[in-house]
Amino acid sequence: MKALIIAAHGSRKNESNMEIASLADRLSKKATGSFDAVEFAFLQFAEPLLESKIDELAALGAKKIIIFPFFIAAGSHIRVDIPEVVKKAKAAHGDIEFSVTDHLGKIQAIEEIILREVMG
């Protein structure tokens, strides 16, 4: 089983968290055949937490988990928190291959996405 987790900050406002849930749902529909599961998780303020989502996917038989950090800039969640969660997950689930992609703000195509939106 190959899974993708969209990892976001998390908010005390449910509407914000629901945007991430909706994004994961849309991605799941577009990624049919590429991923067996497309999920979302948060670093704080909301459930499910990233650690819990990884444990859940491990229990479901995930063999590869890719984490996409849905963050604009490389703050402490990118530099410290996500790597720490992955390190602990690797220790707990040694049979799973983990990878973390570049965060949203570092993606090469972000400029084109922004220009398409503002010029659209």
The predicted model gives 64-72 an average pLDDT of 98
Q: In this model, does residue 23 exceed pLDDT 80?
A: yes
Q: What b/e readout covers 64-87, taking b as 16+ CB neighbours within 10 angstroms?
A: ebbbbbbbeeeeebbeebbeebbe
Helix (H) or strand (E) holding 110: helix 110-119
The reported pTM is: 0.96
Q: In this model, does residue 120 exceed pLDDT 90?
A: no
Residue 82 makes CB contacts below 8 A (sequence gap 6+) with: 7, 43, 50, 67, 69, 100
- Whole-angstrom distance between the N-terminal and C-terminal Cα of the chain? 38
Q: Which two tokens stand for residue 61?
A: 């038989």
Whole-number Å distance between alpha carbons of 85 and 90? 9
Could you give the residue ranges of the DSSP H alpha helices within 13-93? Answer: 14-30, 50-59, 76, 82-92
Per-chain mean pLDDT for the chain: 97
Per-residue pLDDT band at 35 (split at 50, 70, 90) = very high
Structural domains in the chain plus CATH codes: 2-119 (3.40.50.1400)
3, 15, 57 from 61: Cα distances, Å = 10, 31, 6
The predicted model gives 81-101 an average pLDDT of 98
pLDDT at 97: 98
